[in-house]
A = this chain, B = another copy of it.
């Protein structure tokens, strides 16, 4: 019985990694759509998002079955409840990548970004990519240095997010309101993407240490 249970827990962990890997792919494609005006990539992200949603549902159902059939306690119980939470965060990260792709599709064939602000978004997206890479590494290894990396990347994203808003508030920002709307939304989506990465990092840190007090303030 215990052996079956451990195999099931492991399966849940593997499914989380699979979902995170789909999110990574979605972000990479959304990035191409958004920064390179690639409509094909935008369409792929948008249509593939249903797969992430489906996998999340499956994982949730499996987790609830484990709760019902195995009645886990202590750290096993926390692990299952944590998986339910983490799957929500990952699903949401997939949605946010889709939203970025949708902005790109809406403006196609025009680029979303004015040239002046592209380098900031390039850096934000690179950081979000590092975050999802670290999420995958954290889920695979449970090595808490990855959680710290995620927190560090998010701090930098926050600075860049503020910088985007400063640029738009500056006197020399003379772009149409439509561009301001798009830039505002895209910056918000990419900033939230990082937040959900931090949520996963917090959750894993808690599961590994078993103590909320061991979770750094930065997470």
Contacts and interface: CB of A to CB of B under 8 A. Distances in A.
Stoichiometry (number of copies): 2
Nearest to A189: B188
Interface string A83-96: 01100100000000
A178 B184 contact: no
A173 interface: yes
A71 interface: yes
A110 interface: no
A9 interface: no
A188 B68 CA distance: 38
Contacts of A68: 73-74, 77
Interface of A: 64, 67-68, 71, 73-74, 77-78, 81, 84-85, 88, 165, 168-169, 173, 175, 177-178, 180-181, 184-185, 188
